């Protein structure tokens, strides 16, 4: 494997939903489905999502990978162009307003300290790409839909970024960049991110759920809580293109 030169001394890997922003994957999905078509189609989509909620809940309880597969199946039949357009819109109208102000400071501080910011998230790439561009993050790992004739097939392309796959992606990225994982920092909010956090030298539990909080306390990891204040647009230091 070739090792690329890196201007950063290490990396800071950030989970997105619940960690940097106070929205989750279901919120993105609902927004997309409610805006993807004309009124009739929107109602049908939202109804389809409502019908899937028990399955989504069951998946959420057991396996984050299964949750992703279940949710992304709903996008079947939507054109790639439309999804990326909605991704931009969702990012601008919703995600940026839900970004924790304190997370902005933390990311800026980490960047100053020589840590390359990288998003590692189960959110769809058509949303994460738009966000990454706005916050000046060059590298991200997000879930990608498979497309056939420019229409979403409803299946996810491998690797599905969830659980252990997040950790594997970070390991491969670090190896590619010649970084030591023991020097890297990881930020996540969910117990399902445990493999991801344990792979890194400096795991941090952010707004942790009950199980991650217990684990973080047990393993003596730093625990941080972002206040619910949102980042006002002018405060964002990397607004615009990276």
Q: Residues 30, 35, 39, 44: is their CA dihedral positive or negative?
A: negative
Strand 139-143 and strand 115-124: the pairing is parallel
Beta carbon of residue 78, minimum distance to other proteins (angstroms, whole number):
39
Whole-angstrom distance, CA of residue 172 vs CA of residue 184: 13
Beta carbon of residue 9, minimum distance to other proteins (angstroms, whole number):
10
Cβ-based nearer residue to other proteins, 27 or 202: 202
Number of alpha carbons in the 13 Å side-chain half-sphere of residue 169: 26
Cβ-based nearer residue to other proteins, 178 or 222: 222
Whole-angstrom distance, CA of residue 6 vs CA of residue 218: 34
DSSP state of 238: T
Q: Which two tokens stand for residue 157?
A: 């392309």
Beta carbon of residue 178, minimum distance to other proteins (angstroms, whole number):
20
Beta carbon of residue 20, minimum distance to other proteins (angstroms, whole number):
13
Cβ-based nearer residue to other proteins, 58 or 113: 113
Beta carbon of residue 142, minimum distance to other proteins (angstroms, whole number):
24
Cβ-based nearer residue to other proteins, 104 or 145: 104
Cβ-based nearer residue to other proteins, 77 or 222: 222
Whole-angstrom distance, CA of residue 189 vs CA of residue 223: 10
Phi/psi for 71 (5° steps) reads -70, -45
- Which residues form the interface with other proteins (CB under 8 A)? 102, 105-106, 108-110, 112-113, 185, 202, 204, 216-217, 220-227
Q: Residues 43, 44, 45, 50: is their CA dihedral positive or negative?
A: positive
């Amino acid at each position: 494997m070739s090792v690329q030169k890196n201007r950063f001394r290490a990396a800071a890997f950030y989970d997105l939903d619940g960690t940097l922003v106070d929205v989750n994957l279901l919120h993105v999905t609902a927004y997309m489905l409610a805006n993807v078509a004309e009124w009739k189609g929107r109602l049908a989509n939202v109804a389809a999502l409502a019908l899937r909620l028990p399955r989504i809940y069951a998946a959420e309880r057991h396996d984050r990978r299964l949750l992703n597969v279940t949710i992304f199946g709903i996008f079947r039949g939507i054109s790639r162009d439309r999804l990326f357009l909605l991704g931009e819109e969702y990012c601008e109208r919703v995600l940026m307003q839900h970004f924790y102000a304190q997370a902005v400071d933390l990311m800026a501080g980490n960047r100053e300290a020589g840590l390359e910011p990288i998003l590692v998230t189960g959110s769809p790439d058509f949303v994460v790409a738009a966000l990454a561009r706005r916050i000046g993050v060059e590298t991200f790992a997000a879930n990608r839909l498979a497309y056939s004739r420019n229409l979403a097939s409803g299946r996810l392309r491998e690797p599905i970024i969830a659980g252990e796959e997040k950790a594997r992606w970070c390991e491969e990225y670090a190896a590619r960049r010649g970084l030591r994982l023991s020097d890297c920092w990881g930020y996540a909010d969910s117990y399902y991110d445990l493999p991801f956090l344990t792979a890194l030298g400096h795991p941090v539990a952010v707004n942790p759920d009950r199980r991650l909080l217990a684990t973080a306390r047990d393993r003596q990891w730093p625990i941080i809580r972002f206040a619910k204040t949102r980042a006002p647009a002018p405060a964002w230091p990397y607004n615009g293109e990276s």
